[in-house]
Structure 1
Amino acid sequence: MKVLRTPAERFAALPDYPFAENWLDIDLGDGHSGRMHYVDEGDKAAPPVLLFHGEPSWSFLYRKMIPILADGGFRVLAPDLIGFGKSDKPDDQNFYTYTRHVDWLKQWRTAVEPRPAALFCQDWGGLLGLRMVGEEPDLFTCVVTSNTFLPVGGGATPAFLAWREFAKSSPEFDIGAIIDRATQSDRNEEEIAAYNAPYPSEEYKAGARAFPQLVPVEDDTPGVAENKAAWEGLAAFDKPFLTLFGKDDPVLGAAGPALASRIKGADGQPHDMLSDCGHFSQEDRPTELAQGVIDMAKAAGHIA
């Protein structure tokens, strides 16, 4: 297996993404190591907020929210998961596991910002972030989620199974086009190119192709037992927890009320199904999402 590094020149002309690069060496396992990239904006002494992206995006997805949150009084941290964005990319789909993704993200979090933090997570960012909240709730002051869940088996829809097979085996996996189709607002050519920038060729896309295979939707899928255990801590999480889901997300939009109904800290919060909002809600409704984070952090006493 090779650990690939996207050439820096691929990121030379990113629109509305002026953020400085930050790097952390990660122990990937089996004798491999790689660099994880992350955005780190705002006062480093300010209360932290963590922004976790999902499939098949990267921290570019948060470019509209980061300035709002930094101006709101946060240290804003947005990592690129291993296999995505500017981070290094193992080229073997089989190397990626749910457990490894959690471990890699925990390595980053422990090294970069171990203080209790606010969390915003979407898509696979939620499968990772909500697992972490359930396992270590004291490390989080409040949570805002969008278009995500913490699955524990039980089966999958035909639409998801088709997507999983497409991601695994389709001859071409056009990531920019996938993201563009899953938003309600229009992406211009430069934005679509930015989502494709991490992947000079198909061999760089192993992580993006692997993620759908790792969702624990069948009862015997790795991760089911760990997620069931994490749900005990997640359900008991009594700090502010807000769901802001996209009304136009056909796959996960309806999961918002179901998620909110199971978590103690979600009781009485101003949950919303956002109109004109698809799966990648950070593109469609960034201002509302950022304000939700600010509101929950104030309710938690995390920021003034």
Structure 2
Amino acid sequence: MTILHTPPDRFANLPGYPFTPHYLTVGKDLQLHYLDEGDPTAAPVLLLHGEPTWSYLYRKMIPILVGAGHRVIAPDLIGFGKSDKIVEAEAYSYQSHIDWLTSFIQQLDLQHITLVCQDWGGLLGLRLAAENESRFARICAANTGLPTGDQPPSEAFLQWQTFSQTIASLPIGQLISMGCTTKLPADVVAAYDAPFPDETYKTAARVFPKLVPTRPDDPAAPANRAAWQVLMQWQKPLLTCFSDHDPITAGGDKVMQKLIPGAAGQPHITLSGGHFLQEDAGEEWARRIVAWMG
């Protein structure tokens, strides 16, 4: 297994990201980077990013959550951000990401977690919560879902999946900009490109779209179905926060509201924005989370 470490100078002077880095070893000699801001004695708010972003995505939300008295923890998934990157594609699987995150929350012994998750942060986070139910107090799910492969994926997702596997150079920052309704400044686009000096660092980003279960016999399908069995009995609060301009996940909020008991009576949110609503409406989303938790 070939492990790459993004040179630290790639992360120098990133706009809006003054946070102290922390690291844990997960799996076999893999360094996972995370942020740990706010009151260390407070119950944690766990922010999980997706594809192809990193904890930088939550930079607008962290100060608002911390200011409300919460402890905020935002890891970079293995293969993203300041975490280690594995060159070999076969090292990445849905289960490996679950294993790394499970090790992470167990090592920190996180309890009474409020999960905030978007995109692959939800595909992983919803599984993580279902498999570690006693550690989680509530969930806020945004522009995400938990597919089992039993329902056909949207045409928009299939187009993205094909694009991600066929383009010679994956334009990370440009892709994130295209997934927003607001125009990202050039230095913010560059911050999303920062973890990836060249294509060898992008294996995780390129593999993720292939790991989404799109067939009933997908390797991750049984575990995701088992997670749904837990979620369909989930009585703890579950809040959906979807945006109005995301063709890939549109309608996923209605599915969760229908199937998960804890979603009943919650002040579900629709925000104006694209797939990456942290960029388009991050401050408003954070304020809504604070009010909901209060």
TM-score for both structures, normalised by structure 2 = 0.97
Q: CA deviation at 1:113?
A: 3.8
| Counterpart mapping for 1:146-161 below 5 A | 146-153=142-149, 154-161=151-158
Write the letter of the residue equivalent to 1:6: T
Q: What residue ranges of structure 2 are gaps of 5+ in the alignment? A: none
SS in structure 2 of the partner of residue 285 of structure 1 = helix
Equivalent residue, structure 2, for 1:179: 176
Q: CA deviation at 1:39?
A: 0.6
Equivalent residue, structure 2, for 1:302: none
Q: Distance in 2 between matches of 1:80 and 1:266?
A: 28
SS in structure 2 of the partner of residue 156 of structure 1 = coil
Equivalent residue, structure 2, for 1:286: 282
Q: Distance in 2 between matches of 1:159 and 1:145?
A: 20
1:143 and 2:135 are equivalent in the alignment: no
Is the CA contact (8 Å cut-off) linking 1:118 and 1:140 kept in structure 2? Answer: yes
| Distance change in 2, residues 1:295/1:233 (3 Å) | farther
Equivalent residue, structure 1, for 2:5: 5
Is the CA contact (8 Å cut-off) linking 1:127 and 1:149 kept in structure 2? Answer: yes
| Counterpart mapping for 1:99-110 below 5 A | 99-110=95-106
1:63 and 2:59 are equivalent in the alignment: yes
Choose from 11, 33, 38 the match for 2:34: 38
Q: Distance in 1 between matches of 2:234 and 2:73?
A: 22
1:91 and 2:87 are equivalent in the alignment: yes
- Deviation string, structure 1 residues 159-212 (Cα, Å, up to 9, x no partner): 322211221231010000000000011110100000000000000000000100
Equivalent residue, structure 2, for 1:208: 205
Q: Distance in 1 between matches of 2:237 and 2:288?
A: 11
Q: CA deviation at 1:288?
A: 2.4
What is the aligned length? 293
SS in structure 1 of the partner of residue 29 of structure 2 = strand
SS in structure 2 of the partner of residue 155 of structure 1 = coil
Equivalent residue, structure 2, for 1:23: 23
Q: Distance in 1 between matches of 2:108 and 2:9?
A: 26
Q: CA deviation at 1:273?
A: 1.9
Q: CA deviation at 1:295?
A: 2.9
Q: What residue ranges of structure 1 are gaps of 5+ in the alignment? A: 299-304
Q: CA deviation at 1:270?
A: 1.2
- Deviation string, structure 1 residues 35-69 (Cα, Å, up to 9, x no partner): 00001100111111100000000000000000000
Q: CA deviation at 1:139?
A: 1.1
Is the CA contact (8 Å cut-off) linking 2:44 and 2:110 kept in structure 1? Answer: no
The alignment-based identity, stated in percent, is: 46
Q: CA deviation at 1:289?
A: 1.6
Q: Distance in 2 between matches of 1:108 and 1:272?
A: 29
- Deviation string, structure 1 residues 49-108 (Cα, Å, up to 9, x no partner): 100000000000000000000011111000000000000000112210000000001111
Equivalent residue, structure 2, for 1:301: none
SS in structure 2 of the partner of residue 165 of structure 1 = helix
SS in structure 2 of the partner of residue 81 of structure 1 = coil
Is the CA contact (8 Å cut-off) linking 1:182 and 1:280 kept in structure 2? Answer: yes
Equivalent residue, structure 2, for 1:242: 239
1:73 and 2:77 are equivalent in the alignment: no
Is the CA contact (8 Å cut-off) linking 1:247 and 1:273 kept in structure 2? Answer: yes
Choose from 107, 112, 123 the match for 1:111: 107
Is the CA contact (8 Å cut-off) linking 1:242 and 1:292 kept in structure 2? Answer: no
Q: CA deviation at 1:149?
A: 0.3
Q: Distance in 2 between matches of 1:202 and 1:85?
A: 14
